[in-house]
Amino acid sequence: MESEHFSGWHLNDGASDQAIAKLKKQLSFSLPTDYLSFLREHDGGEGFLGQNYLMLWKAEELVTFNREYEVSEYAPGLFLFGSDGGGEAYAFDTRSSSMNVVRVPFIGMDLAYATPIANGFSQFLSVLTL
């Protein structure tokens, strides 16, 4: 991951191999390689990317948060991995192999309101930095 994206961030220590393995086992799809690399290096964190605030969740929180937000009911095919610290979540769209990143509101969550942001995790970070 490009460390210049995270200047001034509060970054967690990397996720353990066990946490990554447990996460992978709980999912019916594969997470993007660049996102898994981020989790191994910095298991989540928060701060500003350009003018945008971003909270990236820990590996151990991902499945729980997706269940608690009832994503499979309201926005099936999305997998939330973070938020803007307010009313919107960021998610991978698992319905396509490219795993595009979308923004979706927490309240009124629906696939109809999923806004494409980037073609992947690394591009997502770059887009928010602008």
CATH number at residue 20: 3.40.1580.10
In this structure, the strands spanning 88-93 and 78-83 are antiparallel
Query: Which domain does 46 fall in, by range?
Result: 3-129
- Mean pLDDT by runs of 10 across the 130 residues of the chain is 68 96 97 96 93 96 98 98 97 95 97 97 92
Give the pLDDT confidence score for residue 25 in this predicted structure.
Answer: 97
Give the pLDDT confidence score for residue 6 in this predicted structure.
Answer: 72
| Cα–Cα distance, 129 to 36 (Å, whole number) | 20
Whole-structure pTM value: 0.93
Question: How many separate domains does the chain show?
Answer: 1
